[in-house]
Amino acid sequence: MNEKQYILAVPNFSEGRRKDVVESIVDAVRNIEGARLVSYEPEHDFNRTVVTLIGEPGPIKEALLALAGKSYELINMEEQQGTHPRIGAQDTLPIFPFKNITLDECKALAEEIGEEVFKRYEVPVFFSGANARNEERKALSFIRKGQYEGLKLVAHTDERKPDIGPAALHPTAGATIVSADLEGLTAYNVFLATENLDVAKAIAKGVRGPSGGFSTIRAVGIKFPEREGTVVSMNMFDCGATPLYRAYNFVRDEAARYGVAVTGSEIVGPVKLDYLLNSLEYYLGLENLRKEQILETHLMK
């Protein structure tokens, strides 16, 4: 008997402030059989929402297309503003192998999703991750360079034109990045007891890969208006190779140089159990910890 295949999808759309719009977009994926809405995380300052879905390949494809369609309908990139880099109303549609499915199968599904996005909605598509057409486009930062406002000025050039669709952006929806990859990102924030944003930015520069830090981390220093202090906000692309505790310790040690305390941290959205266990092993000095020792894992089966 063939075992069911499951995919993890972590799309984000460019709205995190208008609650009615966020709810309307997320409603598009609430009741799709075979695709479970795990969570959605609106972020006011970033003005984006990250959605987490788990499901079988077919339903996940339909869920992502429904989500994108609603985002294109309700978000106008000519008006949208926020601190998070973005190029479109439905900024990304990334998928990852979760259970009983290979990366190659996810790559093939991502190609189908990209083709269907343009066919249904006439929104141009960039492929990234394992689906990237060249080495540069494997990185979201390259595709997003200049963001929506800058990209629409250069989308006609060979270097920056979309992979599917005309060499231009959609006039209100922009473009969407579609990808498959082996690991999804974990969003992780570390809070600093300082209002000096320059300190947070300096630490973020030290932690992120392109400026000399961890190759699997991208980071920014920002201020969340709703809370005191500043934040080093990280996208961690491989918490197996670069565990959460290592990023936390790095930020804490860098902050100490400025006489600044770390007041806490948070994981935004779901996280794999393994990524919590490796931090538990580190801080408790545990030897030979097995996942099977955690009773709740037997319920999962």
Residue 143, domain CATH: 3.30.990.10
Same domain, 245 and 108: no
Are residues 88 and 77 in contact, defined by beta-carbon separation less than 8 angstroms?
Answer: yes
Of 153, 180, 207, the residue at which a domain comes to its end is: 180
DSSP string, 70-116: HHHHH--TTT---SS--SBSEEEEEEEEEES--HHHHHHHHHHHHHH
- pLDDT at residue 301, as a whole number: 61
Residue 185, pLDDT above cutoff 90: no
Rounded distance between C-alpha atoms, residue 88 and residue 102, angstroms: 28
In a domain, 150, yes or no: yes
CA distances from residue 292 to 98, 232, 240, 288 in whole angstroms, order as listed: 19, 34, 18, 11
For the chain, what is the mean pLDDT?
93
The whole-number pLDDT of residue 39 equals 86
In a domain, 298, yes or no: no
- Say yes or no: 158 and 247 in one domain: no
pLDDT band at 82 (very low <50, low <70, confident <90, very high): confident
Instruction: Based on the fold, state whether residues 102 and 193 are members of the same structural domain.
Output: no
Question: What is the extent of the structural domain holding 170?
Answer: 6-180
Look at the alpha carbons of 52, 246, 214, 101 in this order and tell me if their dihedral is positive or negative. negative
* Structural domain contains residue 76: yes
Q: What's the number of domains the chain is made of?
A: 2
What does the pLDDT average to over 84-106?
A: 94
Q: At residue 208, does pLDDT exceed 80? A: yes
Position 227 scores a pLDDT of: 85
Q: Give pLDDT, residue 1.
A: 53
The pLDDT value given to residue 276: 93
Render 195-221 in DSSP notation, one character per residue: --HHHHHHHHHHHBGGGTSBTTEEEEE
Q: Above pLDDT 70, what percent of the chain?
A: 99
> What's the rounded Cα separation, in Å, for the pair 184 and 166?
29
**Average pLDDT over every residue of 170-191:** 92
- Shared domain check, 113 and 64: yes
pLDDT in tens, 34-75: 999 988 989 888 899 989 899 999 999 999 999 999 999 999
Is there a single domain that holds both residue 118 and residue 83? yes
Q: Report the predicted TM-score, pTM, of the whole model to 2 decimal places.
A: 0.78
For residue 300, being part of any structural domain is answered with no
Q: In the predicted model, what is the mean pLDDT of residues 121-134? A: 96
Mind listing the pLDDT tens digit for each residue in 128-152? 999 999 999 998 889 999 999 999 9
User: Is 299 within the bounds of a domain?
Assistant: no
- Could you tell me if residue 37 is inside a domain? yes
The pLDDT score that the predictor gives to residue 112 is 98
Pairing mode of beta strands 90-99, 186-192: unpaired
CA–CA dist 283, 96 (Å, integer): 29
- Per-residue pLDDT at 10 exceeds 60: yes
Q: Which of 159, 180, 201 is the last residue of a domain?
A: 180
Residue 78 has pLDDT above 70, yes or no: yes
Please check whether residue 1 lies inside any domain of the structure. Answer: no
- Confidence class of residue 300 from pLDDT cuts 50, 70 and 90? low
Asked if 224 and 147 sit in the same domain, the reply is no
The verdict on 125 and 223 lying in the same domain is: no
Residue range 219-236, pLDDT digits in tens: 889 888 778 999 999 989
Judge contact between 43 and 223, C-beta under 8 A.
no
Q: What is the CATH number of the domain that holds 197?
A: 3.30.70.670
Residues identified as active-site:
84
